[in-house]
């Protein structure tokens, strides 16, 4: 674990720096043109593909027009506000914050609500770096779930900027990155800052006064005023090291590693002068870098079981074997319970043309099923109901390129498994395998649709819907204070109903995509196991192997 990783893990970019500097150099655009561009930029980040809308008609959140309920404001009103600010020649800072996808998944930064929570906590400190007083700050942001690089657009400005000051703004990027990193990686940083393994021997000879000084120095070193440490007995680690080094020759190296986490190890070298050199290596070695005997014993105390290798090659082989073992276990578990694993699901890009069609089909389905007389399981539905559900499933698959790819990938994996199991000899077998996989997927999506319908009929969902409508009505009423309504109230109510329907269908498509990815994880794990077990066997040998082991208990490492 590299401490610097937490500073570099967050990417923060000021994307319109040249645009603002050009203005101060007298080479900027005309103000009405710049205002129009700023307005379009706001529309872009609010609605572009991969935007997480949550339960709103646009993806924006923040603080603007004297409210933090930005989700409830009409996008046109937000754009109008941006245009008005820009026309005053106020600096609108356009920035992007991004993470690596695996970091975003690991730390739960994969949706609008988590980014909103992050920015609401950190915006006071970010505003300070932009030299904007908090009472004069307005900002909007939007999270884009882009595959490979989830990121958040952040716009901020000073509504009371002193336009007489003609000084170019200067931003400390590293400070902003540090502010964000401290919040995103707070759990890992806490683990680094709470120094828990302080050697008993290190403290034995110290007075209370010296211990206090030592602790205060650690607080400064790790920038943590609440730092605590426990005294740990390093006796077992010392005995292991002493036993390992007693027969070492000059210029010889040995390696002591953790059995369960062998990437954490100590390299010990016996020099020409008979002195030993210690090198601590691995993710858990960050607090133990001094290369002393004491640091090494403290480091090894972290691990319950230790093992020794006399060459680096043997250690590396052991690490590879351990990694392969972990991969095998992960694959087995993914097949049995894929939902337990933190799968990097990115929101699929939805083709808007399909949303209205899906809404109409869902309304028709209620009539066909006679208000779901047969319940909410696909297998119990009438043929007419199944036909209608299959139509919706097809629309859902085609509404997103990513969903379609997941379906095709699942079907291909099923065919590959049947080839390995020697069930495919001719084209008819191939078609049969494809159709079987397709029927399974359609049944899964059908159940997904019915579960979705059951959920939206629940009392909790209806309460959420009413709360959403109440907020929309509240902001509608506030807008009447600013301008006359261009659309009659009844028309607005109808518009809100359509917006809500689209939002719920978008969430259904996202859930369907998530389910398909999880099914593919499971099926790919099965493919790997069957390839390993049956890949080189004939059809007769496969049948014989299955017959012999028909009543065997579960073996986690072979498909018998």
Return the ∠ at Cα 270 (arms to 256 and 239), rounded to 5°. 45
The pLDDT value recorded for residue 557 is: 37
Environment class of 414 (CB within 10 Å of its CB; exposed 0-12, middle 13-18, buried 19+): buried
How high is the pLDDT of residue 518? Answer: 79
Residue 323, SS3? helix
Parallel, antiparallel or unpaired: strands 137-144 and 151-158? antiparallel
What is the per-residue pLDDT for 406? 85
For residue 1, the model assigns a pLDDT of 35
Radius of gyration of the chain (CA): 31
- HEC sequence for 28-64: CCCHHHHHHHHHHHHHHHHHCCCECCCCCCCCEEEEE
Cα 524 to Cα 147, 201, 321, 503: the distances in Å are 20, 52, 21, 32
pLDDT at 162: 92
Does residue 551 contact residue 543 with C-beta atoms inside 8 Å?
Answer: no
* pLDDT score at 5: 39
Q: Which spans in 282-352 are helix H?
A: 293-300, 312-336
Query: Running DSSP on this structure, what letter comes out for residue 149?
Result: -
* Beta pairing class for 265-270 and 253-258: antiparallel
What sections of 130-270 are H helices per DSSP?
Answer: 173-184, 186-193, 200-204, 208-222, 235-245
Among 513, 271, 546, residue whose Cα is nearest residue 398:
513
Cα 301 to Cα 75: distance, rounded to the nearest angstrom: 58
As a 3-state breakdown, the chain gives helix, strand, coil percent values, each rounded to 5, of 60, 10, 30
Contact 410, 520 (CB under 8 A): yes
The structure tokens listed for 421 are 């199991």
**pLDDT, averaged in runs of 10, over the chain (560 residues):** 46 90 90 90 86 79 90 89 93 92 80 90 94 94 84 94 89 87 76 67 72 75 68 84 90 92 92 89 77 87 89 92 72 51 52 82 89 88 92 88 85 84 81 90 90 82 76 70 55 69 79 82 78 71 69 41
Using DSSP's 3-state secondary structure scheme, residue 485 falls into coil
How buried is 553 (Cβ within 10 angstroms: 0-12 exposed, 13-18 middle, 19+ buried)?
exposed
- For the four alpha carbons of 246, 248, 251 and 253, in that order, the dihedral sign comes to negative
Helix, strand or coil, per DSSP, at residue 454: helix
pLDDT of 194: 67
Prediction pTM value: 0.55
User: What span, in angstroms and rounded, lies between the C-alpha atoms of 209 and 552?
Assistant: 66
């Amino acid at each position: 674990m590299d401490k610097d990783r937490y500073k570099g893990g967050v990417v923060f970019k000021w994307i319109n720096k040249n645009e603002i500097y050009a203005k101060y150099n007298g080479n900027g655009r005309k103000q009405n043109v710049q205002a129009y561009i700023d307005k379009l930029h706001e529309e872009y980040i609010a609605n572009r593909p991969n935007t997480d809308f949550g339960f709103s008609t646009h993806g924006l959140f923040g603080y603007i027009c004297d409210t933090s309920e930005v989700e409830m404001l009409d996008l046109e009103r937000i754009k109008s506000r941006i245009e008005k600010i820009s026309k005053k020649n106020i600096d609108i800072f356009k920035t992007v914050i991004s993470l690596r996808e695996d970091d975003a998944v690991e730390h739960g930064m994969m949706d609008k609500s988590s980014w909103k929570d992050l920015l609401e906590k950190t915006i006071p400190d970010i505003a300070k770096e932009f030299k904007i007083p908090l009472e004069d700050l307005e900002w909007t942001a939007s999270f884009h779930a882009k595959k490979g690089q989830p990121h958040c657009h952040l716009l901020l400005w000073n509504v009371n900027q002193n336009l007489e000051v003609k000084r170019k703004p200067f931003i400390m990027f590293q400070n902003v990155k540090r502010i964000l990193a401290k919040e995103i990686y707070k759990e890992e940083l806490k683990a680094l800052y709470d120094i828990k393994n302080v050697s008993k021997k290190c403290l034995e000879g110290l007075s209370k006064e010296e211990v206090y000084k030592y602790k205060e120095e650690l607080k400064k070193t790790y920038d943590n005023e609440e730092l605590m440490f426990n005294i740990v007995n390093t006796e077992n680690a010392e005995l292991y090291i002493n036993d390992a080094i007693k027969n070492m020759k000059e210029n010889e190296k040995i390696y002591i590693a953790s059995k369960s986490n062998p990437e954490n190890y100590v390299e010990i070298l016996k020099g020409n002068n008979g002195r030993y050199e210690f090198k601590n290596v691995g993710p858990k070695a960050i607090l133990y870098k001094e290369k002393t005997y004491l640091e090494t014993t403290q480091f090894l105390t972290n691990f319950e079981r230790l093992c020794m290798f006399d060459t680096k090659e043997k250690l590396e082989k052991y690490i590879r074997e351990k990694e392969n073992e972990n991969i095998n276990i992960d694959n087995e578990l993914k097949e049995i319970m894929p939902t337990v694993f933190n799968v990097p699901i990115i929101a699929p890009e939805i083709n808007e043309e399909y949303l209205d069609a899906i809404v109409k089909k869902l309304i028709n389905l209620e009539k066909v099923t006679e208000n779901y007389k047969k319940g909410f399981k696909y297998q119990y539905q009438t043929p007419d109901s199944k036909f209608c559900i299959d139509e919706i499933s097809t629309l859902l698959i085609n509404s997103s390129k990513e969903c379609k790819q997941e379906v095709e990938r699942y079907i291909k994996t099923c065919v590959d498994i049947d080839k390995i199991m020697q069930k495919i000899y001719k084209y008819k077998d191939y078609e049969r395998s494809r159709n079987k996989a397709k029927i399974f997927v359609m049944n899964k999506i059908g159940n997904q649709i019915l579960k979705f319908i059951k959920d939206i009929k629940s009392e909790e969902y209806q309460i959420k819907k009413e709360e959403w409508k109440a907020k929309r009505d509240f902001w509608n009423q506030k807008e009447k204070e600013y301008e006359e309504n261009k659309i009659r109230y009844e028309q607005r109510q109808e518009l809100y109903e359509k917006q809500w329907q689209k939002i719920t269908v978008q969430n259904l498509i996202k859930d369907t995509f998530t389910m398909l990815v999880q099914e593919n994880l499971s099926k790919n794990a099965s493919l790997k196991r069957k390839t390993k077990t049956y890949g080189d066997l004939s059809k007769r040998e496969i049948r014989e192997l299955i017959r012999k082991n028909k009543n065997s208990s579960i073996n986690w490492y072979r498909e018998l």
